[in-house]
Amino acid sequence: MRRTVKDLLVEIKDTTELMLDLAYSAILYDNEDIAEEVLDLEQRVLEQLKQIRVVSILAARRVEDAERVSSILQIANAGQKISSAAGDISSLVLRNFKLSRDIISLILYHSEETAVKVQVPETSEIAGKTLKESRLHTRTGMRVIAIKREFSWIFNPDRDTKVLKGDILFARGDPSTIPKFFEVVTGKSIDAPEKPEEIEIEELDRAVDLLIEIKNLSELSVDLAYSSLIYGNEDLALEVVYLEETIDNMKFEVERLILESSKKFQNYKPLMAILEIAYCSEQIADAARDICEVLLSKMDIPPIFREAMRETDEILTLVSVEKNSPLIGKTLGEARVETNTGMHIVAIKRGNEWVTKPTASTMILEGDLLIAKGTREGENELLKLCAIPAQLS
């Protein structure tokens, strides 16, 4: 049975987002099993792209149909570019190009979304429950992206996946939610991660700082790119263009700093890994810009695209903070939005301005429009805190 364009769009977006999560987890935890899964998923995306081309061509009978098809194909091709970048990051693990432990600690600590792994003890409250029953994502803000069960793996587990004692969970989310995740899974409290020590070599330290920024901004650019199409907002699309140009400049600076620091190293592999991650992240930002060009070039965006985005594993939503919301006057950290709802705040529109990198210290004001991503269940929790969904003007 041939799948529809909408089904294939959902699969491509879900698969590429999973690949990014797994690719960064593979390099940060030096895990070859996860890296190999990313490469398998890359082949799946190529097959999905082939199918969406065939289905789109068969559906185009008029010029108007062809114009709509071209926008869908551009979005799908951008997904393939993201897939390729994730595959290249994972290949570092398989080729034994490893980051040093101090670099990994800095990346985990400073990432907008970080990766964690934890083993489920016999006494865990979630042992024997499905992910839906445990509500891990909504309660903690961390999304389980893989489960290692003895010698087998479950990648991209769904709501009906049961968690068993002894499972090792790999999850991604805001670093501030790590203590809550560990508490729910293990029943024990842990302190928030301490800030790691700076790297002694100045040029390398600056390069790693820039690498973290590039990684964060490239992932943000993808979320903003999809949001710009979902809500038909050119301001968001232009913000992605700006981010892509910024990342280009930062990548060149990383390359310069690595070359300057290379004479102080005998082991060149960590340096090559930094360069490759910076390059791949820049390719991800390029793909985000390609998505935005659909809107900026005035290409027709068929309704099927927005329908597809509502059926993906993680949805993007826009919510208005109404005057009676308990969030008003609190920072994101104080309100514990991600911990309480499982929704990650990607950006905030405040009047005519955009806050594209909200942090725990960002204040929430009446009338703010929050762009957030997460589960449909999490969206409902966020709506309760804010009020009603909004439309961009």
Specify if 48 maps to a domain: yes
Pair 284, 321 in one domain: no
Q: How far apart are CA 24 and CA 5, in angstroms?
A: 29
Q: How far apart are CA 373 and CA 385, in angstroms?
A: 15
What tokens appear for 310 in the block? 């509502």
Residue 192 has pLDDT above 50, yes or no: yes
Of 120, 88, 118, 93, which Cα lies nearest the Cα of 104? 93
Distance from chain centroid for Cα 47 = 22
Specify if 33 maps to a domain: yes
Pair 60, 119 in one domain: no
How many folded domains does the chain comprise? Answer: 3
Pair 80, 168 in one domain: no
If you write DSSP's letter for every residue of 328-384 in order, what string do you get?
TT-BHHHHTHHHHH--EEEEEEETTEEESS--TTPBP-TT-EEEEEE-HHHHHHHHH
Q: How far apart are CA 364 and CA 358, in angstroms?
A: 10
Please state the rounded mean pLDDT for residues 181-192.
Answer: 88
**Span of 44-58, 90-104, 209-223, 347-361 with lowest mean pLDDT:** 347-361
3-state class of 21 per DSSP? helix
Q: Mean pLDDT across the chain, nearest whole number?
A: 88
- What amino acid is encoded at 275 in this protein? L
Q: What is the CATH number of the domain that holds 152?
A: 3.30.70.1450
Pair 208, 67 in one domain: yes
Residue 152 has pLDDT above 60, yes or no: yes
pLDDT bracket for residue 393 (50, 70, 90)? very low
Residues present in the chain in total = 393
Q: How far apart are CA 90 and CA 39, in angstroms?
A: 7
Specify if 101 maps to a domain: no
Pair 260, 228 in one domain: yes
Domain-ending residue, one of 159, 186, 213: 186
**Span of 16-20, 33-37, 111-115, 235-239 with lowest mean pLDDT:** 111-115
Specify if 137 maps to a domain: yes
Pair 284, 339 in one domain: no
Phi, psi of 164 (to 5 degrees): -115, 155
Pair 342, 301 in one domain: no
Domain-ending residue, one of 307, 335, 367: 307
Residue 1 has pLDDT above 50, yes or no: no
Domain-ending residue, one of 146, 166, 186: 186
Q: Name the strands in the sheet holding 353-355, side by side, starting at the edge strand that comes first in the sequence.
A: 315-320, 369-374, 344-350, 353-355
User: What are the CA-CA distances from residue 345 to residues 208, 307, 373 (Å)?
Assistant: 25, 22, 7
| Model pTM score | 0.86
pLDDT bracket for residue 165 (50, 70, 90)? very high
Specify if 73 maps to a domain: yes
pLDDT bracket for residue 4 (50, 70, 90)? confident
Pair 324, 177 in one domain: no
Contacts of 226 (CB under 8 A, 6+ apart): 13, 291, 309, 316
Specify if 393 maps to a domain: no
**Span of 11-15, 181-185, 186-190 with lowest mean pLDDT:** 186-190
pLDDT bracket for residue 2 (50, 70, 90)? low
pLDDT tens figures, 198-252: 777 788 889 989 998 999 899 999 999 999 999 898 989 999 999 999 999 999 9
Q: What is the CATH number of the domain that holds 12?
A: 1.20.58.220
Pair 168, 260 in one domain: no
pLDDT tens figures, 323-338: 889 999 999 888 888 8
Specify if 357 maps to a domain: yes
Please state the rounded mean pLDDT for residues 7-35.
Answer: 91
Specify if 50 maps to a domain: yes
Is 183 within 8 Å of 339 (Cβ atoms)?
Answer: no
Domain that holds residue 83: 5-96+198-307
Pair 302, 322 in one domain: no
Is 175 within 8 Å of 111 (Cβ atoms)?
Answer: yes
Pair 228, 80 in one domain: yes
Strand partners, 345: 372
pLDDT bracket for residue 374 (50, 70, 90)? confident
Q: How far apart are CA 307 and CA 136, in angstroms?
A: 26
Is 86 within 8 Å of 19 (Cβ atoms)?
Answer: yes
Q: How far apart are CA 360 and CA 339, in angstroms?
A: 12
Pair 86, 215 in one domain: yes
